[in-house]
Structure 1
């Protein structure tokens, strides 16, 4: 069994905002344990058997689906030939941070399982790219607009749940105010601007908010004319996450009517990244998009 190099650094550079994201840390640390296991020539079942783990526990830890206890981590590191506080210290420090509760767990009462992966990881991204064919992207919505979108959705949520979902969206947006916030590149279908969601006043305030957000250096907004979005044919809401660290794979989130797909499969991610590239190249420039927003705002302001 090949032992890991005791002098090899765990990480080549600081993790940055990822250190404040327990979900991202669990994924990264699980990936490191997987690398060590493969280098040691072991299968997950071998590790489960040698350490007395329940079936598939090793695989769940490596996938970030199972919180890794300190004792389990130390046992795994010893099995893989990693000894000494100097070598394991950084890993164990990050492991402790991965045990902190994620901020979004306080909204678990209104957070759908299919939406959780996006909410959990978007704050750790270096760049967020999103296209919305029906509504203003969630990270750019005003509270009133969000409430109107929720009310228009299927199911007829109780008033309390609707308020909680608005609060959740506002908390997600606050991540854009942090010093190391992700860069946001949003493309909105032109048809979104033609729908007065929530009424004229709500839409006017929403357009004013978009123009204000466009002044931020880390926010880019483009409008995709109807003929352009129709030619590219994405047809659904898409969010692409790119992480600064190679330890986290790019991801894509596809939103459907009643569920969604979250994937880190390279083929799927590359396909939608390419579609976003083509859409961005054909969409209006940010300057042109701002003119369209102002024109629509003026139209809504006319009695």
Structure 2
């Protein structure tokens, strides 16, 4: 494949938060390699054979499931006809960054396999949209509230494991403090405000925290009255991730009692996006939601 401009970037820039997210980089690099392979008129088996790769290695790299080594990247770019020192150097720089350990790997002792995709990619999202029917969403929980939720959950955990899960949730929240933090938009079911999780003192502190977070320009919170959430018929917690770059498909994380579904299938993602749109349109405005939070706070 002949490049029209050998010094032109292969990527849409800037990459922003994605560059600090090794998992997201692997997915983007893999997607770009797939794009280059298709343009070169090759299929994965052809590439595996020509470069002496093990079976399905090319496919695993393209899916972001297999880290791409520098030597492999150079071989692939050469096979696909990519030239230009700047292009190749930029690609290799991103490959190097994708080799860094993800921050969440230090929590592998308490991080469930079904929860990993959300934790791995939410920090790279441009926008996070959530609906929560039972609890305050994890990104907006105070530690005491998180402790109560985990302690009262279906699992019987040691105090150390509870503490570690609380720490994990706090680390996830740090993304909201970054200069390129994602926009967090959440719809909270009114019933969440009626449940006293962790006792009155914890709930007071949690409600104050929600009100304070609403002051942030990148945080939006709406309350869905009981009749609204019943009419829309969501029934479970949903997190929608939207990425600024075409190399990362939008994703939906759907919570169940003991597991979850994480999917990037366009049809499923679109269904949940439409559902969140309907919820947002029917829910109270942010100003009305703040008034409800303050009223509930006064009741404690």
TM-score between both structures, scaled by the size of structure 2: 0.97
Distance 2:213 2:169 in 1: 16
Do 1:31 and 1:247's aligned partners in 2 also have CA atoms closer than 8 Å? yes
* Cα RMSD, aligned residues only: 1.0
The answer as to 2:243 corresponding to 1:253 is no
SS of equivalent to 1:186:
strand
1:224 corresponds in structure 2 to 224
In structure 1, stretches of 5+ residues that fail to align are none
TM-score between both structures, scaled by the size of structure 1: 0.97
Deviations along 1:167-217, one digit per CA (max 9) or x if unpaired, are: 000000011011110010011000000000111111111001101101111
Deviations along 1:234-283, one digit per CA (max 9) or x if unpaired, are: 11100011111111111111011111111111101100000000000000
Do 1:133 and 1:192's aligned partners in 2 also have CA atoms closer than 8 Å? yes
Do 1:211 and 1:290's aligned partners in 2 also have CA atoms closer than 8 Å? yes
Distance 2:228 2:177 in 1: 32
1:153 corresponds in structure 2 to 153
The answer as to 2:292 corresponding to 1:289 is no
The answer as to 2:263 corresponding to 1:275 is no
2:21 corresponds in structure 1 to 21
Distance 1:150 1:58 in 2: 40
The answer as to 2:196 corresponding to 1:196 is yes
Deviations along 1:81-117, one digit per CA (max 9) or x if unpaired, are: 1134223111111110000011111001100111111
Distance 2:85 2:114 in 1: 39
SS of equivalent to 2:220:
strand
1:205 corresponds in structure 2 to 205
Moved more, 185-194 or 49-58: 49-58
SS of equivalent to 1:297:
helix
Distance 2:30 2:2 in 1: 18
Do 2:3 and 2:83's aligned partners in 1 also have CA atoms closer than 8 Å? no
Do 1:238 and 1:255's aligned partners in 2 also have CA atoms closer than 8 Å? yes
SS of equivalent to 1:253:
strand
SS of equivalent to 2:253:
strand
1:173 corresponds in structure 2 to 173
1:163 corresponds in structure 2 to 163
User: 1:49, CA displacement in angstroms?
Assistant: 1.1
In structure 2, stretches of 5+ residues that fail to align are none
The answer as to 2:107 corresponding to 1:107 is yes
1:117 corresponds in structure 2 to 117
Do 2:129 and 2:186's aligned partners in 1 also have CA atoms closer than 8 Å? yes
Distance 1:6 1:58 in 2: 26
Distance 2:195 2:252 in 1: 26
What count of residue pairs does the alignment treat as equivalent?
A: 299
Do 1:3 and 1:39's aligned partners in 2 also have CA atoms closer than 8 Å? no
User: 1:9, CA displacement in angstroms?
Assistant: 2.6
Q: Which segments of structure 1 move beyond 3 Å, counting only runs of 4 or more?
A: 2-6
Distance 1:41 1:3 in 2: 13
Do 2:141 and 2:206's aligned partners in 1 also have CA atoms closer than 8 Å? yes
Distance 2:57 2:109 in 1: 27
User: 1:4, CA displacement in angstroms?
Assistant: 4.8
Moved more, 48-57 or 275-284: 48-57
